[in-house]
Amino acid sequence: MSQKKILIVEDESIVAEDISDSLISLGYRITAMVYSGEEAIESAAKFRPDLVLMDVNLQGEIDGITAAEEIRSRFQIPVVYLTAYADENTLRRVNSTKPFGYIVKPFEEKNLHTTIQLALYRHQYDSLTNLPNRSLLREKLSRILDGQKELSGVVPLVTLSLDKINRINSTLGHDIGDSVLCTIAQRLSNCMENIDIVARLEAAEFALIFKPVEEKQDVANIAQNILDIVSQGMIVKDCEVYVTASMGICLYPGDGIDGDEMLKNAYIAMYQSQLEGGNTYHFYSAKNASYFINTLLQETSLRHALKSSEFEVYYQPQIEIKTGKMIGAEALVRWNHPERGRVSPGEFIPMAEEMGLIAPLGEWVLETACRQAQTWQRAGLPPLRVAVNVSARQFERKNFTERVREILTETGLDPKYLELELTESLVLQDEIAAAKAFTVWRDLGIRIAIDDFGTGYSSLSYPKRFPFDAIKIDKSFIRDIADDRQNAAITVAIIQMAHCMNMRVVAEGVENEQELDFLCDRECDEIQGYFFSQPLPRAEFEALLKSDKCWELCCRKKEAATLNSGFSKQETPNRLGSCYKIG
């Protein structure tokens, strides 16, 4: 038996010495004998024992129960309590900490030994699957790696995470989820021909130490076999369930010098598998490690950005074609990083969605845009509508509809000057919730627009079923519209359909005169894009608003050219000439 390290915390020195003598005779190693809760925490941090024997009634500001909770939470070290007497309140406090053992003094040596052994066993095995846990895995991994140093071949360490197990828990219940974990644990345990140990790390994550191999391809073959075994269907409480797994593989000695580094690198490889959708494996590589370290740093920066007011709302003008007036603006968030400068939305928006930060960020943009629009109106500037994007995570929040109402009340903005933009996929993922929210918003007077139309499901039925005020044509259809017949046909169809349903049409991404000509001719209602203005920070947009500029879009029809060209009215390229004057 390897010597287990024991920390003794006992305020009576004679009792502490007797316990120490007994444990040494049983083969344990005593790291220290201390007499207060403060010393217990310091010694646990310094010596990292395998177990702490803790007297409940200690002198000083920190009693044994408080010290035990601190040691368990900070260092994950099991604690066995010692006491000569305990009242009911003390016993309740002890039980609330879920102790690994409890011994009443005086006690027999064999009872002490048995209690310690049971505590060490419980600490090293997962209570649900009965597999070794992280603690025992690290111990065995260390022994295996030490024994491999003088031998040829490599030792593969694999981390495995079940894909989308939360979906099973949320739809079928945690009992079914736990049964799935136990079934997978049993399947992995049955693969022991090529595996030294299977352990459960936490939640739906497992680790496997393969037996040493000579070729990397042998590892790949075993990994694929495990994926195939995991993905087989199972019947759990009359439910047929399928799960897949993401695996990360780290090879000793090339990918790490000790167990902790091996585990870390196996996790990095596993995250790569998860990014690809799961049901696959990846070997660790330094390149992937660098990517994930950078990603982690970016995520940390993103969390600080919300607290440090590093975000800013920019506004892009929306122009009404008939009048040439700026009647609205789309509110767009920008990140001014203190070291990197401007961070692309294409980089931080997906990251915010993955981290669950997109909802609070979106709410901040909504409140900021509404408050700013009202500020401009109070300053006597021409009133305009602000359009704000709604993310799926934001919309899923139970109180989001009420939060919109609260923001309008808090900022004092008339609801008719707010437009909420939602994507097709967001609407269709929960049509009942969307319909309820739309009813409330329409009753308030808020405009509702469908964003990026044509890039998602493009179902012609839902614009009819939902009370949209506007359709925004995605910029991918506007690009080169004068020369691209397919884009032209799609855009014309969208405009005609929207007008038949009494909806206005906004074209995004207008960047040149030819695209504007086409949209003017096809009676598009509103346009936005770099041809007029890029998104502007508040001060610059405010200056543009104060100038009260008006874009005069004068269309001169060339009827004779149209009649003589042989083209149909829709096919005639650049049929209209346009003049643009800022007045």
Structure confidence by residue, pLDDT tens digits, 348-362: 898 888 778 888 999
The total of other beta-carbon atoms located within 10 Å of residue 498's CB is 22
User: Which H or E run contains 504?
Assistant: strand 504-507
State mean pLDDT over 209-216: 91
Res. 581: pLDDT tops 60: no
Residue 561 pLDDT: 36
pLDDT band per the 50, 70, 90 thresholds, residue 390? very high
- The predicted pLDDT at position 483 comes to 86
What integer pLDDT is reported at residue 454 of this predicted model?
A: 66
Please determine, for residue 555, whether its predicted confidence score (pLDDT) is greater than 50.
no
Of 475, 432, 435, 467, the closest CA to residue 450 belongs to 467
DSSP state letter for 558: -
At residue 352, what is the residue type?
Answer: A
Is pLDDT above 60 for 558? no
Nearest-angstrom CA–CA distance, 447 and 421: 9
3-state secondary structure of 481: coil
Give Cα 303 distance to the centre of its chain: 12
pLDDT over 70 percentage in the chain: 91
Q: What is the pLDDT of residue 424?
A: 78
The average pLDDT across 465-469 equals 79
Q: Which of 263, 138, 253, 271 lies closest to 197 in space, CA to CA?
A: 138
The Cα 410–Cα 150 span in angstroms is 71
Q: Is the pLDDT of residue 2 over 70?
A: no
**Distance separating alpha carbons of residues 386 and 316, to the nearest angstrom:** 10
Say if CB 230 and CB 245 are below 8 A apart. Answer: yes
576 φ, ψ (degrees, to nearest 5): -110, 135
> Which residue did the predictor score with more confidence, 514 or 370?
370
In the chain, what percentage of residues exceed pLDDT 90? 48
pLDDT at 570: 37
Q: What is the mean pLDDT of the chain?
A: 86
Q: Peptide bond preceding 317: is omega within 30 degrees of 0, i.e. cis? A: no
| Band of pLDDT at residue 162, cut at 50, 70 and 90 | very high
Instruction: Examine the pLDDT at 381 and tell me if it is beyond 50.
Output: yes
User: What confidence score (pLDDT) does residue 464 get?
Assistant: 62
Residue 230: closest CA among 209, 204, 197, 211? 204
**pLDDT-based confidence at 568, cuts 50/70/90?**
very low
